Amino acid sequence: MGRVYRARDRRHRRTVAVKVLVDGRERGDALREARLQARVDHPAVLPVLDHGRVGGFPWFSMPFVAGSTLRAARPAMSLGEALRLVRDLCRAVAAVHRRGIVHCDLNPGNVLVARRGGRLDAWLIDFGIAREAGARRGTPRRFGTPAYMAPEQALAGDAAVDLRTDVYGLGATLYELAARRQPFPAATCEAVLARRLGDEAPPLADPAPDAPAGLDRVVRRCLAREPADRYPSAGALAEALDRLPVC
């Protein structure tokens, strides 16, 4: 959908990240992603600084983060640091939800991490497939990253997502950070989806014996097949993580 460049904003003398929407000529609302992201005011969601078009392609700029993705940064972190970042991320997602937006693609590759003043901070990025909560497009098109898609997202697409869809993505992220593997590893997208609909994720104690007591219970509730069985909100998940000893 897009490419991101490191660039220099000469007017304000700062380094920025510029996302160019490479399929923008084909999209009816090319800057919809920028508008949704700009709607959220939270320190862990990058603000949109500017936007425009170049060569017919839409672009928008954000502050540049000199770090890496959460997935790339995980090997250098303790599990406690990783869980605290996800807890903070849950609060950012809760702010997104308060603005009536479902992110729909929460995974460790869509979170930036950087160390500032001895502290690890995280930022939620990539609102490219975000949806407005309650909107019904009438098209059961599958979208998202297969390993982190909730069952309803995989089966019914646009027609079924709500705030609990993002809770599932947060749970899959938690599982991967603790176990250092995805909850339903498989060779193809279809195999991932089939395993998710037919199997339970292996207990965290198997791949992650050092996981704190209670984390497996938290993750399993996030990964419940039925949305009604999950945490009702990202804020409720953050509170559950607060109760873990490592957080």
First-to-last alpha carbon distance for the chain, in angstroms, is: 36
User: Is position 105 annotated as part of the catalytic site?
Assistant: yes
Residue with tokens 């497009």: 137
Identified catalytic residue from 9, 23, 105, 199: 105
3-state secondary structure the chain: CCEEEEEEECCCCEEEEEEECCCHHHCCCCCHHHHHHHCCCCCCECCCCEEEEECCEEEEEEECCCCEEHHHHHHHCCHHHHHHHHHHHHHHHHHHHHCCEECCCCCHHHEEEEEECCEEEEEECCCCCCEECCCCCCCCCCCCCHHHCCHHHHHHHHHCCCHHHHHHHHHHHHHHHHHCCCCCCCCCHHHHHHHHHHCCCCCCCCCCCCCCCCHHHHHHHHCCCCHHHCCCCHHHHHHHHHCCCCC
Q: Which residues participate in catalysis according to the annotation?
A: 105
